[in-house]
Amino acid sequence: MANVKAVQHRLLQRRFILDCVMILAGMLFAYALRFYVLHWLNILPVEKGYDPRDYAWLLAYALPVMVMSYSWTGMYGLRDPVFNYDIGKRVIRGTLLGVALVLTINFFFREAEYARPVFMTAPFSVIGFVFAGRLYLRQYVDRLRAERRIGDIGTLIVGAGDSARLLIRKIHEHPECGLEVGGAVAAQTSDAPDEVEGVPVLGTISDMMQIVREKKIRRVIFAQPNLTNKEIFDLMAELEKELVDARFVPNLLESHLTDCSFENLDGLPLFGLKDTPLQGMNLVVKNLFDKIVSSIMLLLGAPFYALIALAVWLDSGRPLFYKQRRLGMDGRSYNMYKFRSMRLNAEQNGPGWTRPDDDRVTRIGRFLRRWNLDEWPQLINVWRGDMSLVGPRPERPEWAQKFKEEFPHYMMRHTVKSGMTGWAQVNGLRGDTDLQARLDADLYYIENWTLWLDIKILLMTMRATKNAY
């Protein structure tokens, strides 16, 4: 499915929000148990006064501490199942770590006395509520999968031997991982059985790319011990062009395991090419940052945008905005918006890069482009979730198809959301500049993302006018 990663992102956000609600519910339950239930049953009467505002303050800082603890214990991996035995262990570790940190903070910055029974029961109630929430969400997701309202990740297995059989059994035993094996391919026709663990063998490795396109495969897992390192990485490079996630069983490669991503399938480790840090909790933080900042800028900047629209109208009439299809994350296209800065028939002879003193640019358009003001309507794209404030700049679909054949790893740019500005743009790599240098800058951003890097790029954008014409 073309939008598998988008579905994974939405499920990750639901996991995060549900965990926050359940953590709060668990802590409120511990509070109510001590001061209402045990008091009313006369098991542990409240003998001295307490201020509910002190506990409200405790909740205010305990929630982010607990969430950070869950993140540190690996609760928010993009491809993790909603709930299983391993996730349960992480919940317990994260809860105990979070409570220990809250106790430490309270010890050093004590401003109120808290009832000890609250801290004694809180870990158990939080764990119980989070378990219940995750179980409910797993049942909900399973129901959606059964009703085909969300799809599993179409998966192709490369190999037909013992490694492939083990891998397919693991996938079938764990449907919560969201993998649907659509078929397998063998190394050679002579090695090809009709099926492997009930999965049809669709052809050989030479047929792989055609099968990937026809079956809409989104993940390929290599379980073929006869392939050399070079053969595997060459095939991975081809799959990357189609935005297909590639993984391999680690004993296939005796070297080159540095800079690899890792995931676990019921004890069977799978490795792939290096992932971006923009996954799990980092992705939640970036999306939240985009939503908050874009909302504030849209509200506070509305009068300023009206003045720009008026200036465009007075200079060259309507339309005030320019709309164009661009390619975003996972190869999905969307309409990107700008203030119109060129004359109406600017592309009558076909699209092209804007150059210095380009006569297609209007008078007010030259000013807008010089100071990046023509890009501001893309805040709507950011707010809607099509784009991010910071990321690789989006490209036209037809140009992306051309560039992916010319530049290795070009489609890695589309594993994250495209941005209003980016590391390439603030370093003067925009318009008719070296495409390889722009790609290198984009890949640097993708592999080294931090929230601080986003903030730094946004600040640098204010004075990034090189090649802005």
Tens digits of residue pLDDT in 401-459 = 888 888 888 888 888 899 999 998 888 887 767 888 888 889 889 988 989 999 999 98
Q: Where does residue 411 rank: exposed (0-12), middle (13-18), buried (19+ CB within 10 A)?
A: buried
Domains, the chain, ordered by start: 4-146 (no CATH), 153-273 (3.40.50.720), 280-346+354-461 (no CATH)
Q: Give 366's contacts (C-beta < 8 A, 6+ positions apart).
A: 341, 469
Measured CA to CA, the distance from residue 152 to residue 7 in angstroms comes to 10
**pLDDT at residue number 254:** 43
pTM value is: 0.63
Q: Give 279's contacts (C-beta < 8 A, 6+ positions apart).
A: 77, 78
Comparing 16-25, 200-209, 455-464, which segment has the lowest mean pLDDT? Answer: 455-464
Q: For residue 30, is it left (φ>0), alpha (ψ between -120 and 50) or beta?
A: alpha
Q: Is the pLDDT of residue 165 over 90?
A: no
Q: Give 165's contacts (C-beta < 8 A, 6+ positions apart).
A: 196, 197
Section 236-241 average pLDDT = 86
Number of neighbouring beta carbons within 10 Å of residue 98: 25
**pLDDT at residue number 257:** 42
pLDDT band for position 95 (cuts 50, 70, 90):
very high
**pLDDT at residue number 252:** 40
Residues 3/332, Cβ–Cβ less than 8 Å: yes
**pLDDT at residue number 267:** 57
Q: On the CB side of 256, how many CA atoms lie within 13 Å of its CA? A: 12
Q: On the CB side of 113, how many CA atoms lie within 13 Å of its CA? A: 4
Q: Give 353's contacts (C-beta < 8 A, 6+ positions apart).
A: 431, 432
Residues 9/282, Cβ–Cβ less than 8 Å: no
**pLDDT at residue number 282:** 84
**pLDDT at residue number 76:** 86
Residues 201/195, Cβ–Cβ less than 8 Å: yes
Comparing 110-114, 125-129, 208-212, which segment has the lowest mean pLDDT? Answer: 110-114
Handedness of CA 425, 416, 252, 224 (dihedral sign): negative
Section 231-258 average pLDDT = 72
Q: Is the pLDDT of residue 258 over 50?
A: no
